[in-house]
């Protein structure tokens, strides 16, 4: 495997660091529209597929039975900052299901941004499982278990009906065969599967278009797509790529980050799904790659251009707010992606 | 440039991410004893060369005039955690020079570890420049300016006598020619220079041995080497590679991390200097590379073996403390380094 350098980090006039990666852009028939690097490799898409993992919650009727609104549906697809809004919304989702924070099995996590940590500490509160970036997803899993009438105990287990159904949906959406041999444990303790990168992209092309899905599933993917693009703040929060990009693109783009430098995206107007992985797991590298993909694929309004540019050419400021460098796409990525 | 994959990150049984890098191991005559990847590239060694940047402080007589003890000398070479001990020690260094925190120009930074942030917040204190990981180095610069009788204003400037003298010392130690064309701005606002990787390693072979240095400089490097290995806690702090490795190796190894995945090391008993760079800037990648280098070069006691293993095979725990994977050297790095 020798994926190309796609992103470089400069300091002054010199390139200081480099990020390699692979990109798969696939249509809803599974045709690879564009690729960089090895897109047949199995990758853990981690949190980038939370919107797929939320499909059973909608299909099962749990979301409707508990009257989850768009903000709550978006939170079920989120890797949120653990801001007050996010934690409260997760608490309400659990309340609607007759559950509490204690039923979660995602683990405790400090909020992502220091100002939110300071707020907690100043009020003598400790971070809890509601602040875990995955709390909305876990609340969704628990809601589904309750609606199915199965035990909520160890809902994160490989054999639990919730995880088994998620595995089915992932297999059907992308066409991968998933099992224990390709299974790892995610940061929030649920099973995560190494899936062929271009098959994950296919899943998002279907998510974007509904093509090839039965009506119930097509409805579920539409409900989740709309929820995320309508409530992008719930998907991540302040100063975050997913929130800002979905905010700027007003429904044209669904995009979701995953740990270890993964992104998935759905672009309905082109019918494309995108999955990319930064080899080394760096989020900054993956963000710049994703921004470059969006620029290359979509005609941009002035606002979209401006908002996207800030994420595609990330200015590096030092501790006295002096501009010292930039994280930016290499010339090659621009050429490659323009050649589409 | 196509540096080899040296470190891999696993999840379950699958490799999830990969780190490439370059390693130069050089003796005090400048002979390359071992290399991986392109070691003629210019790299910003960043904070990994703080011990070289501290040489003028000792040579100028400032350290002696102000009676800096080993802990303070080590802090001048440190990228510390901003723990109470570190901040207080920086304050005392400045006090000895007749200066205060306000004279620093490194910028404010939160302590590295959350428990130290919580301590500050609980006592209604804000982080200040003393908590900046470079505050000891900056206190050393200011001490030198005072002792030289030059202005302390803008002591971080390219043309300030302190920075000019550091540039001279770096050129003499490694043999690079440094100038504005290879200069960037560091995180703490001082000039940082892209130096040929193997020349930086040569500088650390000389730092390790004193070979080729005039007596005044050889004394300065010995003073700084001894200070760091005697007071490793001041060089970094709790849960940090540099502190733990220097603690375990009791004088056999000097090692120092720099931002963007750099490490420099000095191994007096072999007469080697080491400089390595993780291509993508990841600290975890650089740590595992450095641990592998040490293992490959030095015969290990049982304690050294145990302490080193924990950094060479870094266990990845998730938010519920479940072991989910490992950061580890690839088989190749072991073979390459054993072939020395």
A229-277: pLDDT as tens digits:
999 999 999 999 999 999 999 999 999 999 999 999 999 999 999 999 9
Q: Which of A107, A117, A320 sits opposite B107 (nearest CB)?
A: A320
Q: Which of B16, B108, B318 sits opposite A44 (nearest CB)?
A: B16
Tell me which chain A residues have a C-beta less than 8 angstroms from the C-beta of B117.
114, 117, 121
Query: In Å, how far are A48, B38, B63, B159, B277 from B42, measured between CA atoms?
Result: 36, 10, 31, 22, 11
Count CB neighbours of A3 within 10 A.
Answer: 19
Give start and end residues of each alpha helix (H) in chain B. 50-53, 55-59, 62-65, 70-76, 84-96, 114-122, 135-148, 161-174, 197-209, 215-230, 232-235, 241-249, 283-297, 302-312, 331-338
- What per-residue confidence (pLDDT) applies to A339? 60
Extract the tokens encoding A131. 């602040």
Question: B129, B91, B131: which is closest to B111 by C-alpha?
Answer: B131
Q: How far is A227 from chain B (nearest CA, A)?
A: 27
Extract the tokens encoding A87. 């934690």
Q: Percent of chain B, pLDDT > 90? A: 96
Contact (Cβ atoms closer than 8 angstroms) between residue A46 and residue A186? yes
- On average, the pLDDT of chain A sits at 96
Distance of alpha carbon B295 from alpha carbon B269, whole angstroms: 14
Distance of alpha carbon B130 from alpha carbon B142, whole angstroms: 13
Q: What share of chain B is helix, strand, coil (3-state, %, to 5)?
A: 45, 20, 35
Give the residue from A260, A319, A326 with the most B CB atoms within 10 Å of its CB, the best one to mutate: A319
Contact (Cβ atoms closer than 8 angstroms) between residue B42 and residue A14? yes
Overall average pLDDT of the B222-248 stretch: 98
Q: Is the pLDDT of residue B340 over 60?
A: no
Does the distance separating the beta carbons of B320 and A107 come in below 8 Å?
A: yes
Distance of alpha carbon B79 from alpha carbon B77, whole angstroms: 7
- What per-residue confidence (pLDDT) applies to A1? 60
Cross-strand partners of A32:
A26
More confident residue, A275 or A2: A275
Contact (Cβ atoms closer than 8 angstroms) between residue A141 and residue A155? yes
Count CB neighbours of B149 within 10 A.
Answer: 7
Closest chain A residue by Cα to residue B46: A16
Does the distance separating the beta carbons of B318 and A188 come in below 8 Å?
A: yes
A136 interfacial to chain B (CB closer than 8 Å): no
Q: How far is A54 from chain B (nearest CA, A)?
A: 21
Q: Is the pTM of this model over 0.95?
A: yes
| CB < 8 Å from B in window 249-308 of A | 260-261, 279-282, 285
Query: In Å, how far are A5, A131, A284, B245 from A11, measured between CA atoms?
Result: 17, 35, 15, 29
B239 interfacial to chain A (CB closer than 8 Å): no
Closest chain A residue by Cα to residue B4: A2
The 8-class DSSP code of residue B132 comes to S
Count CB neighbours of A99 within 10 A.
Answer: 18
Tell me which chain A residues have a C-beta less than 8 angstroms from the C-beta of B122.
121
Instruction: With cut-offs at 50, 70 and 90, classify the pLDDT of residue A340.
Output: low
Q: Is the pLDDT of residue A65 over 60?
A: yes
Instruction: With cut-offs at 50, 70 and 90, classify the pLDDT of residue A287.
Output: very high
Does the distance separating the beta carbons of A261 and B17 come in below 8 Å?
A: yes
- B288-B243-B265-B4 Cα dihedral, nearest 10 degrees: 10
B317 interfacial to chain A (CB closer than 8 Å): no
Q: At what angle do helices B215-230 and B241-249 cross, to 10 degrees?
A: 100
Phi, psi torsion values for B223, nearest 5 degrees: -55, -45
Q: How far is A145 from chain B (nearest CA, A)?
A: 21
Q: Is the pLDDT of residue B8 over 80?
A: yes
Q: Is the pLDDT of residue B199 over 90?
A: yes
Instruction: With cut-offs at 50, 70 and 90, classify the pLDDT of residue A12.
Output: very high
Q: At what angle do helices A241-249 and A215-230 cross, to 10 degrees?
A: 100
Tell me which chain A residues have a C-beta less than 8 angstroms from the C-beta of B320.
105-107, 189
Distance of alpha carbon B142 from alpha carbon B151, whole angstroms: 9
Cross-strand partners of B27:
B272
Does the distance separating the beta carbons of B17 and A260 come in below 8 Å?
A: yes
Distance of alpha carbon A294 from alpha carbon A302, whole angstroms: 14
Q: Widest CA span of chain A, in angstroms?
A: 61
Tell me which chain A residues have a C-beta less than 8 angstroms from the C-beta of B105.
320
Overall average pLDDT of the A59-68 stretch: 97
Q: Is the pLDDT of residue A54 over 90?
A: yes
Q: How far is B97 from chain A (nearest CA, A)?
A: 23
- What per-residue confidence (pLDDT) applies to B122? 95
- What per-residue confidence (pLDDT) applies to B332? 75
Instruction: With cut-offs at 50, 70 and 90, classify the pLDDT of residue B333.
Output: confident
**Does the ipTM exceed 0.90?**
yes
The 8-class DSSP code of residue A252 comes to S
- Buried b / exposed e over B202-236, threshold 16 CB at 10 Å, is bbbbbbbbbeebeeebbebbbbbbebbbbbbbbbb
Does the distance separating the beta carbons of B325 and A184 come in below 8 Å?
A: yes
Q: Report helix, strand or coil for A295.
A: helix
Residue-wise pLDDT for A93-152, tens only, equals 999 999 999 999 999 999 999 999 999 999 999 999 999 999 999 999 999 999 999 999
Domains and CATH numbers, chain B: 5-338 (3.40.710)
Q: Which of B1, B107, B319 sits opposite A106 (nearest CB)?
A: B319
Distance of alpha carbon A43 from alpha carbon A17, whole angstroms: 23
Give the residue from B1, B15, B17, B197 with the most A CB atoms within 10 Å of its CB, the best one to mutate: B17
| CB < 8 Å from A in window 103-132 of B | 105-110, 114, 117-118, 121-122, 132
Contact (Cβ atoms closer than 8 angstroms) between residue A62 and residue A150? no
Query: In Å, how far are A3, A41, A77, A260, A311 from A292, measured between CA atoms?
Result: 17, 22, 23, 19, 9
Q: Which of A188, A280, A319 sits opposite B109 (nearest CB)?
A: A319
Lookup result for tokens 């610069």: B141
Give start and end residues of each alpha helix (H) in chain A. 50-53, 55-59, 62-65, 70-76, 84-96, 114-122, 135-148, 161-174, 197-209, 215-230, 232-235, 241-249, 283-297, 302-312, 331-338
- Buried b / exposed e over A38-61, threshold 16 CB at 10 Å, is bbebbbbbbbbbbbbbbbbbbbbe
């Amino acid at each position: 495997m020798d994926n190309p350098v796609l992103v470089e980090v400069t300091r002054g006039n010199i390139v200081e660091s480099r990020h390699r990666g692979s990109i798969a852009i696939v249509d809803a028939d599974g045709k690879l529209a564009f690729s960089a690097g090895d897109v047949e490799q199995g990758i853990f898409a981690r949190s980038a597929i939370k919107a797929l993992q939320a499909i059973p919650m909608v299909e099962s009727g749990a979301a409707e039975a508990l009257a989850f609104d768009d903000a709550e549906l978006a939170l079920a697809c989120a890797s949120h900052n653990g801001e007050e809004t996010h934690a409260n919304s997760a608490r309400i989702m659990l309340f609607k299901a007759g559950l509490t924070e204690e039923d979660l099995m995602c683990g405790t996590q400090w909020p992502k941004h220091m100002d939110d940590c300071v707020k907690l500490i100043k009020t003598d509160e400790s971070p809890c499982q509601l602040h875990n970036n995955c709390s909305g997803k876990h609340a969704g899993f628990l809601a589904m278990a309750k609606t199915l009438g199965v035990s909520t105990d160890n809902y994160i287990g490989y054999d639990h009906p919730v995880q088994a159904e998620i595995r089915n949906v992932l297999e059907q959406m992308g066409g991968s065969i998933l099992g224990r041999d390709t299974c790892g444990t995610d940061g929030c303790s649920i099973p995560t599967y190494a899936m062929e990168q271009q098959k994950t992209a296919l899943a998002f092309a279907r998510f974007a278009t509904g093509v090839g899905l039965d009506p119930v599933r097509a409805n579920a993917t539409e409900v989740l797509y709309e929820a995320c693009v309508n409530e992008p703040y719930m998907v991540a929060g302040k100063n975050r790529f997913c929130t800002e990009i979905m905010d700027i693109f007003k429904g044209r783009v669904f995009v979701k980050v995953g740990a270890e430098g993964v992104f998935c995206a759905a672009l309905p107007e082109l019918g494309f799904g995108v999955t990319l992985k930064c080899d080394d797991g760096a989020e900054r590298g993956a963000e710049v790659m994703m921004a470059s993909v969006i620029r290359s694929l979509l005609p941009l309004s002035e606002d979209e251009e401006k908002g996207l540019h800030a994420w595609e050419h990330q200015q590096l400021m030092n501790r006295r707010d002096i501009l010292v460098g930039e994280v930016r796409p290499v010339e090659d990525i621009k050429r490659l992606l323009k050649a589409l």
